[in-house]
Structure 1
């Protein structure tokens, strides 16, 4: 999945980190080197630009991982750790000894059900990105143990779990990637004051609750495409953030409709993606308040791939409001594949035409 803003942020941090390393090396004369390969097998270590990274594969237990980080290393502050294709267990306290990292990735690992408190104790001040990816046998994962990672910026659990529980409040978390998982109900997220991007796409969600956006006061982007949502209920997407960039609901069967009170708090520039949602009508009670906001800025609604009948029943009220009609994306199409703007421009709707209720 493309995560351009995240990549740019990591690149910026990487550049800053490199600058710090260069200055530190110049001042102290310390050169980062890898430990003796015999001490860390089957892990591998590499250095680049005076930064040390490690990759560990085919481990048989979490104890084996812990032993690798017991011996003294030339440096204790490393950059990136990848643990992949490994059979682990619950991630215990002081998992990596006194070695700290900025980025840690677990990929295709098994038998992990809990991150214990202080698992990454040495990395509390430095860890910015923590990822569990493509680990489909994890089932239920408790993440209470990351509560002390107050500087964590990006947390990812992707294509891995049936249920994610015990999510702690993280004061500096900005990106939360939970796409491709198997839960039908989203995790119950606590107060995350700086979270601005949330991915819950490509999963099996049938409802948005108990997700409460009141706990996410900085949220600018929520991505929900490719789930099993059938409708949006009252209060589902009530944003409190001063700016909302994207609400992506595409590739969900929303044929049961969108409640008039489902979406609130959007911005003038919000993009609402409703492509391939099987909507059959644009209910005035639902869409007029949304379009009234979007009409004041560059925001718009994307609608192609729906089941919209481009007739007076759906569009009569909109055709009398050119400023609102303009907020329907120019690429949007009717159920028969004809461009919405082209087809509706040829309608001659009675002035008293209204949309029937669902």
Structure 2
């Protein structure tokens, strides 16, 4: 189907998660040092104490995004927080200990994160950003969740139930069907999603309310998380079903298709790809386009010719109502072989329409009820 006219999209929630400003401190300061001591766990909506901000236990598993389990801490205050005297501990959902608590050291900078690698590197997924600490011995976590504790001291918790307000617990996260939690258990994680607290580090002592699922974003003390690895998707998934803008806007994706049009001259500087085997009288993706525009000199450097089967790795962008892929150098690869035939049509292929100073392609206007 043709590429559809689209409207702007708001910023990604995950970007906001990392851009939140630190909030004012409310814990005790060490005299003359400006370093805070972590208080006992308590409802903390103002962001005045160290919290567990993200938990991922599927590292190295089949389909894993990252090759190691991790726990991320966050300091929402305006002063550094001392980790000496604290430890991190893991228990299964049923309460079995994953090993001895791992003693922490160092500080978490004001408004900063602290990344703890809980296991060795597995065979699946990309490496974590350099961790601030690595648990030794390792604390193997379950892919679907479990219990993670930030403790005062190194004495493990052995009982079960609601952990909110305990003096020996700085913070605690119980996920899935855990026998311990703060008020109520949080969500069940997976190979593609971690449990994440809000950007502000809000702690209401309710794991169900404080945590949600999202693609893992491990962040160390250096600041920004690494970009997530590109996901392999179809062109229809890039375009979205009856969507005003691409649901993958801003994400880097890998997709493939047959070149159905190329514009090496005329200022349009791009080409169109369409999913193999699509077109004609049968529409396997009603409401979603199977064609997308690939823009830029880097893509054209691959010399795409009509009929070529290509793989494109590129971020998804929107320009003047058109969804497009904008690859960097090397982002377009010819795959060779004989692709399944496609049937391009005027309603399925973007058509260049220069207007004034415009230099990119656009789509023919059409009713929004027919895509």
Scaled by the length of structure 2, the TM-score of the pair is 0.32
Scaled by the length of structure 1, the TM-score of the pair is 0.32
Structure ranking higher on relative contact order (CA contacts 8 Å, 6+ apart): 2
* Greater strand content: 2
* Greater helix content: 1
